Amino acid sequence: MNRRTPATRTRVGKYELGKTLGEGNFAKVKLAKNVETSDFVAVKVLSREHLLQHKMVEQVMGSKTKIYIVLELVDGGELFDLIAKQGRLKEDKARMYFQQLINAVDYCHSRGVYHRDLKPENLLLDSYGVLKVADFGLSAFSQQVREDGLLHTACGTPNYVAPEVLTDKGYDGTAADIWSCGIILFVLMAGYLPFDDPNLMNLYKKIQNGSFVTPSWFSSGARKFIKRILDPNPLTRITISEILQDEWFKKDYHPPSFAEESDVNLDDVDAAFDDSEENLVTERREKPVSMNAFELISGSQGFSLESLFNREPGTVKRETRFTSQCPANEIVSKIEEAAKSLDFNVRKQNYKMKLQGHASGRKGRLSVATEVFEVAPSFHVVELRKTGGDTLEFHKFFKNFSSGLKDVVWKSDSNDEDSKL
């Protein structure tokens, strides 16, 4: 009888690292468990060189090559997923999320931080449904403002970017973020974008003209409010202080309360950049052999099969999963075969794979990371995450990709329809 080899895990200080929650060009975010308190956190892993280059100061721990930033674990999914599932939200619910968004953005601006890439994909919900702003990879600080008082780097996601950002004449980070908030509010209430066109130049013309039509189900107060936000002239666009006084916005509004800020303790930061052995964290090589209970439950609310299988293509998120009773090497082979049939490049490392499309989409080439976890010798969980490209293009890819995996997806004897990929 073969004896199972125990999974080797990475230990960072008092945190045991688990599965990858997401990754970008410069960093990877992993689920982690505080071994002293059993609390779950998210740990962002990035290179020391990148951290030094951008002068980031957070609660950090360091190894010889990496920096680990310990963050709050936000496990309620993206606001984007809510829209994809429901189509559009009722006005009161949309207003509630928008109020939280404005509170968060106002707080950032008061600290001299401009997000510059606000969109539903970058808005997370915690387990209580409280909105959190994430992904500050394109953010700017007030110190980056030039002598003319403006920012000059054009960035953001085309459908959400303010018209003045496209002119290459400089823009105010506060006004640009407010525009993006207005687009988000429109999408929440309408279920679609106010400015959209497959041709990028046509899209930019629509944005710069600021011409859009509000759906018939918008209340008159909502129509007037959104038009004040989506004003193509940043000088006459509504400000956050004016937003807070708007009658439509103020309905059921709860002003934020912030805890007193304490002095930042830089001991951990200093230690992270100290090359002495005593300050280096313990690292052990990861081996994707098994998925333990806390990782499995954290990814499937209440461990219901409904969260493991996506019934409709429209509910596919940036991360999705399925289960299989096939051997791990067979699962990997089927994934490779299905990806190549869709003209995707495949890179393999043990039971991890990276798939990248040849064609360039709206946000570059679509990239997907997959990983096979062993729950039991004859039961595996397979995760797929979008790591680059457009989320809607990932939905289309997943629909075609999943049809090539039907032979390896576990099907329940009691309800075959409920266990489809």
Coil/strand/helix, residue 155: coil
Helix pair angle (173-190, 79-86), 10° resolution: 30
Same domain, 87 and 142: yes
> Which residues make beta-bridge pairs with 367?
356, 388
| Number of residues that make up the chain | 421
Q: Is 117 among the residues known to form the active site?
A: yes
Q: What is the 8-class DSSP label of residue 16?
A: E
Q: Which segments of 310-352 does DSSP mark as H helices, in order?
A: 328-341
**Domain annotation covers residue 284:** no
**Domain annotation covers residue 372:** yes
Tell whether residue 14 is among the known ligand binding residues.
no
Same domain, 301 and 398: yes
Q: Answer whether 393's CB lies under 8 Å from 399's CB.
A: no
Final residue of a structural domain among 26, 58, 73: 73
Tokens 């707080």 locate to: 107
Which domain CATH number covers 114? Answer: 1.10.510.10
Final residue of a structural domain among 250, 276, 304: 250
Q: How many other C-beta atoms are found inside a 10 Å radius of the C-beta of residue 254? A: 9
**Domain annotation covers residue 283:** no
pLDDT in tens, the chain (421 residues): 444 444 556 777 788 888 888 776 567 888 888 888 888 888 888 766 655 555 554 435 545 567 777 888 888 888 888 888 888 999 999 999 999 999 999 999 998 899 989 999 889 998 888 999 988 877 777 767 777 677 777 777 889 999 999 887 888 999 999 999 999 999 999 999 999 988 888 999 999 999 899 999 999 999 999 999 999 999 999 999 999 999 999 999 988 876 655 555 555 555 545 554 544 455 544 444 465 555 555 554 333 333 433 434 344 456 788 888 888 888 888 898 899 989 899 988 778 888 988 887 767 788 898 888 887 777 888 888 888 888 778 888 888 888 888 888 875 444 443 433 3
Same domain, 206 and 352: no
Tokens 């908030």 locate to: 181
**Domain annotation covers residue 261:** no
**Domain annotation covers residue 89:** yes
Question: For the chain, how far is it from start to end, CA to CA, in angstroms?
Answer: 33
Same domain, 218 and 84: yes
Instruction: Name the phi and psi angles at 335, rounded to 5.
Output: -60, -45
Same domain, 139 and 34: no
**Active-site hit among 39, 106, 117, 126:** 117
Using CB atoms within 10 Å of the CB of residue 192, give its burial: 0 to 12 exposed, 13 to 18 middle, 19+ buried: exposed
Find the Cα–Cα–Cα–Cα dihedral 72, 155, 20, 395, rounded to 10°. 120
Same domain, 208 and 294: no
Which domain CATH number covers 342? Answer: 3.30.310.80
Tokens 């009773």 locate to: 325
Same domain, 221 and 181: yes
Structural domain that includes position 11: 1-73
Q: Answer whether 48's CB lies under 8 Å from 66's CB.
A: yes
Pairing of strands 15-23, 11-12: antiparallel
Same domain, 150 and 109: yes
**Domain annotation covers residue 272:** no
Please report the DSSP string for 40-69 in residue order.
EEEEEEEEHHHHHHHT--SSEEE-SSEEEE
Does pTM top 0.75 for this prediction?
Answer: no
Number of structural domains the chain divides into: 3
**Domain annotation covers residue 242:** yes
Final residue of a structural domain among 230, 250, 270: 250
Same domain, 170 and 87: yes
Which domain CATH number covers 45? Answer: 3.30.200.20
- Nearest CA to 114 out of 219, 222, 240 is that of 240
